[in-house]
Amino acid sequence: MSGRLRPGGLLRIGIRDHDEAVYERPVAIQPRFYTSSGRSRFVHQIWEWLDDRSYRMHLYLTEEIDDGWICRHFVGRYRALLRLDLTGMLKVVGLVRGRWIMPPDSGFHQPILVAHKPERAGQ
């Protein structure tokens, strides 16, 4: 990402907050219910921890259709990236003034990392 930024460019990244998850090791994320265009949808996740930092996430989407319901299942492997890890990566690629904006301050549901690419090398 740093390589794609112009000098003076701004990087903003939103990530899932894994800082507590790696210690608590949740196995499920609370289901969420949505309604749009008169149809309902339920979304939930099951986390299958593979080691200290990685898990297989099962995403279930249950959607209302004309004659009932349909459930779709998707699976992906994730690595729990901590805020400290990502902050450290900034320095390695030469980004500066990295700071975290947490959900209570941003109104967004995930922590947001903001950093800058210096105008000139060595800034």
pLDDT of residue 3: 87
- For the sheet containing 39-49, what is the strand order? 28-36, 39-49, 54-65, 68-79
Could you tell me if 21 and 11 are in contact, meaning their C-beta atoms sit under 8 angstroms apart? no
Of all residues in the chain, what percent carry a pLDDT higher than 90? 86
Domain ranges, residue 9: 1-18+81-123
pLDDT of residue 51: 96
Q: How big is the chain by its Cα radius of gyration, in Å?
A: 19
> In terms of domains, do 88 and 57 share one?
no
Separation between Cα atoms, residue 83 and residue 99, nearest integer Å: 10
Q: How many Cα atoms are found within 13 Å in the side-chain-facing hemisphere of 73?
A: 3
> In terms of domains, do 74 and 99 share one?
no
Task: Give the count of domains, the chain.
Answer: 2
> In terms of domains, do 60 and 94 share one?
no
Could you tell me if 79 and 57 are in contact, meaning their C-beta atoms sit under 8 angstroms apart? no
pLDDT of residue 71: 97
Q: Phi and psi dihedrals of 42, rounded to 5? A: -115, 140
pLDDT band at 1 (very low <50, low <70, confident <90, very high): confident
Mean predicted confidence (pLDDT) in 101-120: 94
Separation between Cα atoms, residue 17 and residue 111, nearest integer Å: 6
Tens digits of per-residue pLDDT, 20-29?
A: 999 999 999 9
Tens digits of per-residue pLDDT, 35-62?
A: 998 899 999 999 999 999 999 999 999 9
> In terms of domains, do 74 and 117 share one?
no
pTM of the model: 0.77
> In terms of domains, do 59 and 86 share one?
no
